[in-house]
């Protein structure tokens, strides 16, 4: 049993739902797994090649006239065995959080207060958009047999994003207090901002 990256098993899992082409896999992944495990199309194609070589999936060419020819893949017996083996194995890689915004904020003492506020505002907008996207998708998850777990997982995403929004409000208050108390632009003065 070769050591495979998580994305391989994610694809095996998706193919356990139904047989699909690489393009369809990418589309489905983008609406489900992407919220916690994004995969680019290129990666999917490469992984499918490898999984086929390993015998975990079997592909067959399909001719199409209007659209480009495609290759659809189905999960094989060994593929399903590898999938459930991976699923049952209790360990997992610790979650990775990479947040460029926080890196900037970490060095934000080199910025002016107005710039920090602009950064925070951008962050809030991005997180709010992300949350809205999640909330909009949560209703459509029932189309997938994973529905029950899908709801649960969407809850994970929503809880963390709401926590971030709460943090942003707290951070804005803290920075506002600082600006009012010290060396900064006073808060809520309608005229004096450095930004247009």
Partner DNA sequence: GTTCCCATGTAACCCGTTACATGATTTT
Partner DNA sequence: AAAATCATGTAACGGGTTACATGGGAAC
Q: Applying CB under 8 A, which part among 50-58, 67-75, 121-129, 185-193 lies near a second copy?
A: 121-129
Among 28, 58, 119, 128, binds a second copy (CB under 8 A): 119
Q: State the CB neighbour count (10 A cutoff) for residue 189.
A: 9
The answer to whether residue 30 forms part of the interface with DNA (CB under 7 A) is no
**One residue of 71, 74, 80, 104 binding DNA per CB under 7 A:** 71
CB 42 to a second copy: min, Å: 17
Query: Is residue 122 a contact point for a second copy (CB under 8 A)?
Result: yes
Which residues touch 77 (CB under 8 Å, ≥6 apart)? none
Give whichever of 84 and 143 is closer to a second copy, judged by the CB atom.
84
Residue 77: CB minimum distance to a second copy, A: 14
Q: What's the CA gap between 73 and 130, in Å, rounded?
A: 31
Residues 6+ apart with CB under 8 A from 107: none
Measure CA 187 to chain center: 35
- The residue whose two tokens read 């002016």 is 112
Cα separation of the two ends of the chain:
60
The yes or no reply on residue 35 touching DNA (CB under 7 A) is no
Could you tell me if 96 and 137 are in contact, meaning their C-beta atoms sit under 8 angstroms apart?
no
Tell me the β-bridge partners of 62.
Answer: 70
Counting contacts by CB under 8 A, is residue 94 touching a second copy?
A: yes
d(CA 123, CA 5): 31
**What is the contact surface with a second copy in residues (CB under 8 A)?**
6, 9-10, 13, 16, 32-33, 35-38, 83-84, 86-88, 90-111, 115, 118-119, 122-123, 126, 130, 145-146, 148-150, 152-153, 155-156, 159-160, 162-164, 166-167, 170-171, 174, 178
**What is the contact surface with DNA in residues (CB under 7 A)?**
5-7, 21-24, 38-43, 45-46, 49, 64, 66-71, 96, 98
């Amino acid at each position: 049993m070769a050591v495979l990256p998580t994305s391989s098993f994610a694809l095996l899992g998706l193919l356990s739902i139904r047989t699909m082409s690489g393009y369809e896999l990418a589309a489905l992944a983008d609406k489900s797994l992407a919220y916690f495990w994004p995969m680019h199309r290129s990666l999917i194609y490469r992984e499918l090649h490898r999984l086929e070589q390993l015998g975990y999936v079997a592909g067959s060419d399909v001719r199409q006239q209007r659209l480009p020819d495609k290759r659809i893949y189905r999960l094989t017996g060994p593929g399903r065995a590898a999938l459930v083996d991976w699923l049952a194995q209790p360990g997992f890689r610790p979650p990775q959080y990479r947040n460029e915004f926080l890196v900037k904020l970490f060095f934000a003492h080199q910025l002016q207060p107005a710039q920090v506020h602009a950064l925070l505002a951008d962050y809030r907008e991005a997180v709010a958009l992300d949350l809205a996207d999640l909330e909009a998708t949560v209703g459509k998850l029932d189309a997938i047999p994973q529905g029950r777990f899908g709801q649960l997982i969407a809850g994970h995403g929503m809880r963390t994003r709401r926590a971030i929004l709460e943090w942003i409000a707290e951070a804005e208050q803290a920075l506002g207090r600082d600006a009012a108390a010290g060396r900064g632009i006073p808060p809520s003065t309608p005229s004096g901002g450095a930004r247009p």
